[in-house]
Amino acid sequence: MFHEEQIITDTLRENYMPYAMSVIISRAIPEIDGFKPSHRKLLYTMYKMNLINAQRTKSANVVGQTMKLNPHGDGAIYETMVRLTRGNDSLLHPFVDSKGNFAKHYSRDMAYAASRYTEVKLEPICKELFGDIDKNTVDFMDNYDGTMKEPQLLPVSFPNILVNPNQGIAVGMASNICSFNLKEICDTTIAFLKSEKCDVMKTLLAPDFSTGGQLIYDEAAIRQIYDTGRGSIKVRSKYRFDKKNGYIEIYEIPYSTTSEAIIDKIIELIKAGKIKEINDLRDETDLSGLKITLDVKKSCDADTLMKKLFKLTPLEDSFSCNFNILDGTTPKVMGIKEILGNWTKFREECIRRKIKYDLNKLTHKLHLLEGLKKILLDIDKAISIIRNTERDEDVVPNLMKGFDIDEIQANYIAEIKLRNLNKEYILNRIKDVDELSSELDRLDNILKDDKEIRKIIIAELKDISKKYGQERRTEILYDHVDEEISLEAEIEDYNLKLIFTRENYLKKITHVSLRSSGEQKLKDGDKIVCDWDTTNKTDILLFSDKCNCYKLKTYDIANCKASDWGHYIPNICEMEPGEKIVYAIPTADYAGDLLFMFDNGKAARVALNSYETKTNRKKLINAYTDKAKLVDIKFLAQDEDVVVYSSLDKILIFNTSAMQTKTTKNTQGVAVMNMKKKSTIAKIEFLKDVENFKNPDYYRAKNIPATGYYLKDDDNPNEQMSLF
């Protein structure tokens, strides 16, 4: 069968791009009203069901009705609803008043009840989402099958985009917006409306989360978030210590983690022996809220333990901000002022459209009343015209001629009930003409003046702040000094022996165990390459045949017995497939140098402290040069005489003092032995380890590089002694 060739870029453009754009624009990224389409469809459905004033209804009922706007299935709709409920505790200001089990944001494993068991209605704050939505304040569009209309945005009267958190992962981009205190947001927006040059840091103190906790205040980091829309803030848990009963209660945790994640990490640390002060821990979360209880030893210093846990567990966690918001159909990362600027434009347009709607309504009403005013001059004439008109369709034209009014006014008069054609009724109706005229003038003046529109927004924000504002839940820790807890100080130190084998096994054996043990057991065919006497508080550097250096903490490695094979290094270090360790060395202070010998006759002397890092990186790439094949690595505590053997049985002895120490790890080094074609370096040794040389000075080079000397028969350990 003939298959037409397709250009992959064209196929991606035609098939993948529409999907990617749909996810970005219509699913994952929130818009300026603070909602994604799934939120908006759900809340609008509940609004149309009159759940803002009525009693709660079954969640299943709401989910079913929402499917008229959102065809993604009942499971997805209900999950969206769960996050918006008061019961879930995800939002500072929930939109859904809930009854039943809606799980908790701070719990990973707690499951919410099925929609047939729970009940919901809209919270009072939703009045601020839908106010005047029926006055043409926002555009409407067809739903997916064209049977209903739904709003493209909700006319929110406060910057909801910053009040409640929002997270979304699209295609090739994401959004992560933290929540802020409603009072602070209203005050900041008012300050911005009065002057766009205001300093938002004065009124918008810091993010505020529904799960509380303590925010570690970093002015530079917060200013970066406010200016750019990107950055990270640290939040830590709150705890109380009951010294009498010997337990710590953790009752507020960072928004970005869960109680199960914290407990799992603490258990892992206890099993690894890194935390020894905890006797037991329990999740005591109940109807009163979150509670993780740690039973601690009597001698435990609670503050020191918590500092350690803050460093090692999600009890202190970072919230990464990414204020990516749809501006029309364009995703854009915005700072606080830009978000407020966009929201202000949106809200001003909503108010203008509402005023235009009211103007049209009032103008129409005034027009009708002016027609009614004309017939007040002669009610009998109006009755006579209607009574003397033979055909029904001529009533309106005859009224138009008789009173010099238009068709709309004539229709209105013709529809008045006979009992209302009296002077009192008509006078009562037309007495509002002057008030309507003045109201029209007032609305028209507002529409022409941007300052007046901003005054309306400011008044609304003050009212919202007064009605719905609440105190901060997340405490701000000013002038906080993040004390560096020395974890190594908590680690037990003792003398031990490290053994490295050819098959890449590493054995850590205490001296006590070594004295009571017999012969070292190894894997069949394996042999010990090197061993060192060291302590439990050292770093181990492991060099591989792929120019990588892996770093391990000795205390992270479990003790072995002489009868064990040891720990298989590739498993510990997560090495590349086929990668093998060729040299290992423990160090406590990174003093000394490493001598790298390559088969092309070059050698590199690199300071060991070049491999010391401030962070605990476990892998360093380009640990030595890959321009030539590595022959061997030697550790230099001081300058040493080194014996170099070539494949042509030539020998050269030189002192490492002739080599300059480098700090660049992957330096190509300097030439030590002049090599002939097809010859290579076979091995190197320290002279102090060689016993068969009768006259070592014969092979010594005054300067390097040197050619070297052929091995004398007397110095060849392989030559057998003659009996004659």
Could you report the per-residue pLDDT of 140-197, keeping only the tens digit for each?
Answer: 999 999 999 999 999 999 999 999 999 988 888 899 999 999 999 999 999 999 999 9
Phi, psi of 304 (to 5 degrees): -65, -40
Per-residue pLDDT at 536: 86
Domains 238-314 and 491-715 share a fold: no
Mean pLDDT value of segment 498-506: 91
The CATH superfamily of 491-715 is DNA gyrase/topoisomerase IV, subunit A, C-terminal (2.120.10.90)
- Give me the amino acid identity at 48: K
Closest of 168, 123, 141 to residue 29, by C-alpha: 168
Per-residue pLDDT at 486: 54
In the numeric block, the tokens 């390459």 are attached to 529
Mean pLDDT value of segment 449-459: 94
pLDDT at 724 over 50: no
In this prediction, what percent of the chain has a pLDDT beyond 70? Answer: 96
Phi, psi of 62 (to 5 degrees): -65, -45
Instruction: Name the least confident of 416-430, 660-674, 692-706.
Output: 416-430
pLDDT at 673 over 50: yes
Per-residue pLDDT at 613: 82
pLDDT at 233 over 50: yes
**116, 58 contact by CB (below 8 A):** yes
Mean pLDDT value of segment 35-53: 95
Per-residue pLDDT at 176: 95
The CATH superfamily of 341-468 is Topoisomerase, domain 3 (1.10.268.10)
Let me know how long the chain is. 724
The first and second tokens of residue 204, run together, are: 């918008």
The first and second tokens of residue 95, run together, are: 């939109």
In the numeric block, the tokens 């005013």 are attached to 373
Per-residue pLDDT at 428: 75
* Active-site residue flag, 117: yes
Q: Determine which one of 44, 47, 78, 117 is catalytic.
A: 117
Q: Any idea where the domains of the chain sit in the sequence?
A: 35-155, 238-314, 341-468, 491-715
Per-residue pLDDT at 722: 36
Calpha distance 608→662 (Å, rounded): 10
Phi-psi region of 289 (alpha: psi -120 to 50; beta: other; left: phi over 0): left
Q: Which residue has the higher pLDDT, 7 or 265?
A: 265
Give 556's pLDDT tier (boundaries 50, 70, 90): confident
Sign of the CA dihedral with 151 first, then 152, 157, and 160 last:
positive
pLDDT at 204 over 50: yes
The first and second tokens of residue 616, run together, are: 């605990």
- Domain 35-155 fold is Topoisomerase II; domain 5 (3.90.199)
Calpha distance 627→629 (Å, rounded): 7
Instruction: Name the least confident of 300-309, 480-489, 642-651, 683-692.
Output: 480-489
Give 343's pLDDT tier (boundaries 50, 70, 90): very high
- Domain 238-314 fold is Gyrase A; domain 2 (3.30.1360)
**522, 516 contact by CB (below 8 A):** no
Calpha distance 322→40 (Å, rounded): 21
The rounded mean pLDDT for the chain is 89
pLDDT at 2 over 60: no
Per-residue pLDDT at 366: 87
Whether a cis peptide bond, with omega within 30° of 0, leads into 705 is yes
Helix and strand numbers (H, E) in the chain are 21, 33
Give 484's pLDDT tier (boundaries 50, 70, 90): low
Per-residue pLDDT at 88: 95
Per DSSP, what are the bridge partners of residue 149? Answer: 142
Calpha distance 238→629 (Å, rounded): 56
Per-residue pLDDT at 378: 80
pLDDT at 490 over 70: no
Closest of 323, 378, 381 to residue 159, by C-alpha: 323
